[in-house]
Amino acid sequence: MGIKMPESSSPREPSSPARDDDVSLPDAPVESPSRPNSSNQPGVTLEDLFDDNDQDLEEEILASDAANLPSSPPQTAPSSSEEAIPTTHQEAYSDPNLMLQFYSRLFPFRSLFQWLNHSPKPGPDFANREFALTLPNDAYLRYQSYPTADTLRKDILRHNPSRFEIGPVYTTNPRDRKTLKKSSMFRPLSKEIVFDIDLTDYDDIRTCLVDIALREDFGFEHIIWIYSGRRGVHAWISDKEARELDDDKRKAITGYFEVLKGGVQGGKRVNLKRPLHPHIVRSLDILRPYFQQVLADQEPFKSQAGQDRLLQLLPDKALNEALAKKWASSPDRPSSRKWADIDAMAETGVSKTLNTKALLEAKQDILLEYTYPRLDVEVGKKRIHLLKSPFVVHPGTGRVCVPITAAGDMQRAEAFDPLSVPKVTELLREVDQFGSGEDGENKANGFVEDGVTMRKLSDWEKTSLKPYVELFDAHVKTLLKSEMIRVKRERDDDGVTGSDAMEF
């Protein structure tokens, strides 16, 4: 993270307040007659868009960005905006102009809003939620909050963060935290449970394992897996019971999944009591076929050091000596062969003291050590933890953090290929090049609610972002449905979810 800037408790005012009033109009679904489907025109290039007089906000922001001054006069907008548009692939992925385009045209703000708000109508689950923005200059703005999707979007466009993170829902609006009488009155109330799994290279197996455990053991339903942009995945659990769990329970869940203990150096990292817990047994069954692949891909036992480590984890001295001798004569023996050698050598009876049970268990432990998912335990333990939002762009790779799968669809997870995740540059190009018109599709699909339509969202439909947003939306839809059923049932109690009174 960059330097933590003192948080601005109120967003900077745009240079021309008068324009601010106009700002809401361009986003309204009903277009003013003087602007017939401006940005929705197929084949319109980005340059053409800026010729439109009514793209006030757009111009102003681009102008301010290009001139790097918040108060640059709008009349210079058209010319400077032309410079601002990226046209080459060599642009850095974190180029502010790229990001701005991305946020303005592709980022699915309304979907994100509904996912976090748990209802179409704005409520405290969104309004009291913390967002943390990483600005282009690496400054870090915490405790930002927004009442609606629209305000979130505007602020993101204003700040143009390279990334932003989502935090918990607090007892009160985070921006007001300093005005409270007692500091203890400001504390986290709820947050989705999250897991951060680091993958040396992506494989769906591990996603599968955790997903199954969460559903079958804990009974969670609304789980979505988000690609974190390079090498990891995040799981977000939105079940109401999950969101309201306190830190102790989160720690318990994390502990349930923890199998590897200790640092990378040092002895055996997997030390499980026998008989194995059913979760571990299930995990072993899932991971066993994958182990061979790991052996082939990563060759963990090929080097001398790797081999030594392997022997260190096996219990029988005589067997180990025999294996070491055998491998000494064939230095480049692949890991999979060495693994098979273990059983083969054991069967020759070279060790009189061999405890077959202990050997089997040691092999199980080794298998787990090399395949069991590594959870970043700190991420899941506390409610106040901030985690990167879905759909932000990874600055290093330029890829969008898209959802991989939801609703326990492991086939989809299997089909996921990190190298096919769209990059922001490609997406923007796809918008430009969108050829055949698909009019009528471009109204925000089925999510038209009061005042929160994002007309520009429809751009994503023209790009390879489409299936990902649709996946996300489907997940959100299921979530909202279950929330509404619950609210109906709890109608007598005090409503805390977003569909009732707004509490600021």
Partner 1 sequence: MLAATAAPRIDAKRRVVLDHRKRQFAQAQWAEQDYTHRMNFYTIPPTGDITLEQFEEWGIARLKVLAELEACQSRNRTPAETEEYMRPVMEKHMRLSSNRSNNSERDMERKKDHYSHWTLRLAFSGTADLRQRFARLETQLFKLRFQHDDGKERKEFITSLPMSWETVSDEEKKLWLEELKAATNSNNKTDEESWFKVDWEKVPELVERRQVLLKRGQAYVHVREQTSMVVNEFSRTLESGLELAARFLPRMDEDNRLAPILHHLSQSFTAPDAGYSEESSIGDMASISAASIDGLSSHFPLCMQNLHRELRKNSHLKHFGRLQYTLFLKGIGLNLQECIVFWRKSFKLIADDKFKSEYLYNIRHNYGEVGGDANKRGRGYTPYSCQKLLTEAPPSAGQTHGCPYRTYSPDNLITLLQHVGVSDREVLRDVREYVGKQRYHIACNRVFEAAHKGEIKKVKDQSLWPASELDTILHPNTYFKRSFLLKNLGKVQSGDIGVDGPTQQMSD
- The footprint of partner 1 (CB under 8 A) covers 216-220, 241, 245, 248-249, 251-256, 273, 275-281
3-state secondary structure of 164: strand
Encoded tokens for 440: 């009528």
Would you say 160 and 174 are in contact if contact means Cβ atoms under 8 Å apart? no
Of the candidates 420, 477, 427, the one whose C-alpha atom is nearest the C-alpha of residue 449 is: 477
In sequence order, the β-bridge partners of residue 163 are: 134
34 by Cβ neighbours in 10 Å (0-12 / 13-18 / 19+) ranks as exposed
Q: Tokens 């109608």 label which residue? A: 491
Min dist CB 249 to partner 1, Å, is: 5
45 by Cβ neighbours in 10 Å (0-12 / 13-18 / 19+) ranks as exposed
When the beta carbons of 262 and 451 are compared against partner 1, the nearer one is: 262
Of the candidates 378, 413, 381, the one whose C-alpha atom is nearest the C-alpha of residue 225 is: 413
Distance separating alpha carbons of residues 46 and 59, to the nearest angstrom:
12
When the beta carbons of 66 and 379 are compared against partner 1, the nearer one is: 379
CA dist 164 to 106, 134, 158, 159, 312, Å?
16, 6, 13, 11, 44
Q: Which listed residue (56, 150, 196, 239) is catalytic?
A: 196
Min dist CB 274 to partner 1, Å, is: 9
Min dist CB 28 to partner 1, Å, is: 44
Min dist CB 252 to partner 1, Å, is: 4
Distance separating alpha carbons of residues 371 and 63, to the nearest angstrom:
51
Residue 49: partners with Cβ closer than 8 Å, 6 or more residues away:
38, 39, 55, 58
3-state secondary structure of 169: strand
Min dist CB 256 to partner 1, Å, is: 5
Q: Is 65 a catalytic residue?
A: no
Min dist CB 258 to partner 1, Å, is: 8
When the beta carbons of 372 and 391 are compared against partner 1, the nearer one is: 372
Amino acid identity of residue 411, one-letter, is Q
When the beta carbons of 35 and 381 are compared against partner 1, the nearer one is: 381
Amino acid identity of residue 27, one-letter, is D
When the beta carbons of 220 and 416 are compared against partner 1, the nearer one is: 220
CA dist 429 to 180, 422, 456, Å?
48, 11, 16
Q: Is 297 a catalytic residue?
A: no
Min dist CB 275 to partner 1, Å, is: 4
Min dist CB 361 to partner 1, Å, is: 14
Q: Is 211 a catalytic residue?
A: no
**DSSP-derived secondary structure letter, 277:** P
Q: Which listed residue (52, 82, 91, 198) is catalytic?
A: 198
When the beta carbons of 128 and 364 are compared against partner 1, the nearer one is: 364
Q: Which listed residue (130, 155, 165, 461) is catalytic?
A: 130
Q: How many CB atoms lie within 10 A of CB 43?
A: 11
Q: How many CB atoms lie within 10 A of CB 261?
A: 10
Would you say 428 and 98 are in contact if contact means Cβ atoms under 8 Å apart? yes
When the beta carbons of 282 and 337 are compared against partner 1, the nearer one is: 282
When the beta carbons of 4 and 277 are compared against partner 1, the nearer one is: 277
Which residues are part of the catalytic machinery? 130, 196, 198
